[in-house]
Amino acid sequence: MKAAIFTPCTYHGPSEGQGWPTSARVYSDEAAAETFETALAQARLADEVGFDWVTVAEHHFAPFCITPNPMVLAGALTQAVKQAKIALLGADIPILNPIRVAEEFAMLDAMSGGRVVAGMLRGTPNEYITYNINPAESRGRFEEALQLIKMAWTEPEPFGWQGRYYQYKTISIWPRPVQKPHPPIYMSGSSPESGEFAAKNRVGLGFAVTTLPLASKASRHYRNEAEKAGWTPTGEEIIYRVGCHVADTDDEAMEDLGASFRGRSPALSLALTRRTDEVIAGAGYYGRDEDQRGRVARAVQGDIPSRIENGQILLGSPETVARQIRHIHAETGAGVLDLIPMQGDKALKSIELIGTKVMPLVRELN
């Protein structure tokens, strides 16, 4: 089992409302600066205590995650983090220029000595509004962009691309990725279509904002489809992202969590208005998995014990959390845990305990 620390860069300064996009009428430069400092400090510590990866994500127009271009933060991480891999989960490739994405990943790989993990996601539905991309084209754009990015990384001679969504007359990226043939690729895989595509294209799969039964079902589907395509994913090909807080004892961990939630909503401020969500759903964004829609909203409901049981949070002493990790591993086969630290000053101690006390108990799982 490998451990990743996810630095969501949640801005904790003043802001107005939970809607999306969020108004910046009330905004603090200092709070934003502190957010980035905190993220870098957590990543540095995680690296020192033996975490295998640090991860960053892409979200737009909201304080929940202030890394609209995770490549920029990853650039800083190449210098701050000495051993751990730097995972971008991801770049939301359907809304971006895929050549730019290929170039940025290659730069990061060159700057980090080959430590980049290239997550490529479709993003949450609202991301399509961000850059004015039709959400009905999401899957088609994703599949084409992924193939184009791989081609840009691996093709040594200049070439052009006459795609359905992307057209370029000539491409020859510099620098080149250090990892050969290219950095490991992951995609988000909760829907059956995603699992099938990932299996067919031999890329890893990540689960986030999910429940254990959903991830377990999706992981089985992915592995079955991979068998059909003639390969067997290892544990490292499956990432499970989950909130995690570890303290010396179970009681202390529970108290920390309660204190962290007071006066602050734990909900993700990614909710669109109902009307917009309906329009995006009607455009065919969600594919054929009915579980998908409203998954984000449902996943943050429920009391703490049921959320632990559902694999939505890891909480307790090192021994307790190791037991919870074994359960997730048994259910999903995940070999990489992408852990979201709790907000507040107790996070650093938790990161240290995960690295020094929890991981030695679960490292042999694969």
Partner 1 sequence: MSVMTREAADEAPFGFREGRIEADGFDIRVLEKGSGEPLVFFHTARGIRLTPAHARLAETRRVIALEAPGFGCSPVNARTRDLPELARTMMAAASALGLQRFDLMGHSFGAKQALWAAIQDPEAVRALVLIAPSAIRPEDWRPPTVQEGVEPEIGRKQAALVDRLFGPPVDDELERRMGEIACPVLALFGTRDELIPTQFARRYKQLAPKANVMFVYDASHSITEDRPEASASLIEDFLGEPEGFLVNRTSGALSD
Question: How many amino acids of this chain bind partner 1 (CB under 8 A)?
Answer: 17
Point out which span in 24-32, 62-70, 166-174, 200-208 binds partner 1 (CB under 8 A). 166-174
Write the binding mask 228 to 267 for partner 1: x where contact by CB under 8 A, - elsewhere: ----------------------------------------
Question: Which CB atom, from 176 or from 220, has the smaller least distance to partner 1?
Answer: 176
CA 273, CA 316: separation in Å to the nearest integer? Answer: 36
Residue 62 or 152: the one with the smaller Cβ distance to partner 1 is 152
- 320-324 contacts at long range (C-beta below 8 A, 24 or more positions apart): 320/250, 320/253, 321/244, 321/246, 321/354, 321/358, 322/358, 322/361, 322/362
Tokens, residue 245: 């807080």
Q: Is 170 in the site for partner 1 (CB under 8 A)?
A: yes
Among 26, 159, 227, 259, binds partner 1 (CB under 8 A): 159
55 strand-pairing partners: 6, 87
Nearer to partner 1, 147 or 269 (CB): 147
Using rule CB under 8 A, residue 180 touches partner 1: no
> CB-wise, 61 or 166, nearer to partner 1?
166
Burial class of 51 by CB neighbour count within 10 A (0 to 12, 13 to 18, 19+):
buried
CB of 157 to partner 1, least distance (A): 4
Which is nearer to partner 1, 30 or 157 (by Cβ)?
A: 157
- Residues in contact with partner 1, shown as a per-residue x/- string from 129 to 158 under the rule CB under 8 A: ---------------x--xx--x---xxxx
Give the residue with the Cβ less far from partner 1, 156 or 230.
156
Q: C-alpha 165: how far from its chain's center? A: 25
User: Is residue 118 within 8 Å of 161, Cβ to Cβ?
Assistant: no
Among 163, 184, 235, 344, binds partner 1 (CB under 8 A): 163
Of the candidates 82, 164, 180, 363, which one interacts with partner 1 according to CB under 8 A?
164
Tell me, rounded to whole angstroms, the distance of Cα 310 from its chain centroid: 19
Contact 109, 115 (CB under 8 A): yes
Give yes or no for residue 97 binding partner 1 (CB under 8 A). no
Which residues, in sequence order, are CB contacts of 243 under 8 Å at separation 6+?
A: 312, 313, 314, 339, 340, 342
Q: Residue 208: which of 63, 20, 56 has the closest Cα?
A: 56
Does the protein bind partner 1 through residue 160 (CB under 8 A)? yes
Structure token digits, residue 206: 């990540």
How far apart are the C-alpha atoms of 253 and 256, rounded to whole Å? 5
200 binds partner 1 (CB under 8 A): no
The Cα 22–Cα 16 span in angstroms is 7
Footprint on this chain of partner 1 (rule: CB under 8 A): 144, 147-148, 151, 155-164, 166, 169-170
